[in-house]
Chain A
């Protein structure tokens, strides 16, 4: 194995510069958050930023919420090391937005108030459906949050040269505390601004690097691909050297099991996005369904452009940095994009990209936390525990406490999970969203016969089957790369359970509905459909008053 001097005993670049640029980002965003959130008193202000963001602003924020560190560092790294197979991820993440655009966003905006559960419980039995929807919301947020926080530990090792467990724990705690401050002070408005600024930096930074990397190859994409392939073929590691990085199969082609596993992942990616609660909640921050549509259009344009950039960055990193250097660096394939930044623009560009990576974790974690806290305060506390007998101010108070509790919880879990193999947690979050949320959302919006039993069977069936299959999969035990490598209780062969749990949840929704005589109240069903399609009685923006 080639041991690069840069990678062996120091981090790349200058940790002080990395921290400095990140501190600058924190200072600027905190200033904006405090300014933007003078008026955060009502529930609509705190949970939905007064529904006053424009479509384009919300679209940028959505891309800031969606493009996590996993998509930035993970996908660029996977393309650099495995080539084409890394590209397959980004396509699933992008195409998924068509589900949100065509089937979900506008009707959801028209029919809901703060959370996904508002829509799902509109014409079904309030209590059980709200509890189920809040449970799946919290589960998705928790898995996603855990992945982000644990990933922060790896990023710290790579970018700040903090390798000890204590040092990493301190940095994870700092990220967690910052997140709590942003959400408490800024509410949804502050969180949204953090996401907008982060998205602009992330996409701008990726665009800049793409231009620089293509310039190195005379703006000839084909030549860059050739250079990437020859760099990989020249690897000292024989298993790496024999990869054809320009065609699929390097990561998933080994056996039928891994091929089916890949299809299962692809299914969860394409159907999961429109069931992610923190994405759905963003549709309530705009004044109308038409603005929700514009948000998704902007998000699709930005996310699509970003994934095209990662394609150039990944192959560029393979060609210019080389797979051996990348794999030997701390953080292995996740270090591809930072190493490329250093190669292209030295300490300054690396500092910017590192700061963007931290900002990414911060913004995504903030979005997840406010979603989970809103769902807890609005769905569980107000609607279920207190049977709607609480004021909206009280809901805001409860959700603020929830933010602090969740933040501390996330810091603790992040420290415990640091260094664990947590990549599967993001895939798990998508699988739960696709199985537990999407079927019920679609049935509620488009199938008037759908009833409470169908919703409960589908949501709990999707949630439980996904988690059970993951627990007994090679992601958790029985493999070298598993979370518990020394135990072996795996009997389910796939690390991605979606191919079983998603169809199961769709079927349970149908079977549950048809075996129950409950047809709902025709007047309420009519009200729901008319509201969803026309926007009659939809929640208005607060800013106009």
Chain B
């Protein structure tokens, strides 16, 4: 287990972490999710020992490592921009941690070949990082981190520098890898979809504080506050409350508790149809319908419809999670 207790970290006047406490279960894949400047990367770097906290403690698998330097923590760390050793071949990169630990040469060779097979880079041993694509470099960095058989694997926006397609591939691949290797993994991301897709558990951070901790579905369905709700998916503000666009129900006729609205635009996104509405009060919200629902209503710009929010009537639709 990774336990951070009451961790505070300041950079000058900026408070990056404000009395943060969190427990991360062994063998889990946990995402630290938040906007930039929320403290998620700082928390990861404090766990790694790359930043020293101003106050608080970090415990890895029962050992207080607060005063232990990074090189003795037995962690694997993967950086957003790969941090590949540019003057070394792929083999030398992956072997680095083992060489530093003075393992026998034959053992290092075998281990490196095995790991490069796992990350799909067999045959690339003698290449230099400059001869690899971004996705390949990041997989090399993962192999390098895993080579030392770390107690925990820490990933700092590992897919942030990659294009969308490679990112999606690597996500799926990382999830499978985690199922095979089962090392406690902490992933920093600002992408809620990435967190929901990959993680067993999500820690939502904002302004150096933890807003909520829970399973992806739990956070989506029962957000602790407006910030978490807004960060985990699109929201529409109706009156004083926030709702998910897909929880809005449109009716052709008024009913008790419905709000009148005018259709401004109808956007067809394949299966999903987004309807931009101007509510009677002047607020503008997006409603998300299925293609079937939209066709039944025969919506056109300028039409008047009646909106029912989840809490506004007896037949309110149960919340359906997209996760």
**Chain A bound to chain B:** no
Please give the residue numbers on chain B whose beta carbons come within 8 Å of chain A beta carbons, in ascending order: none
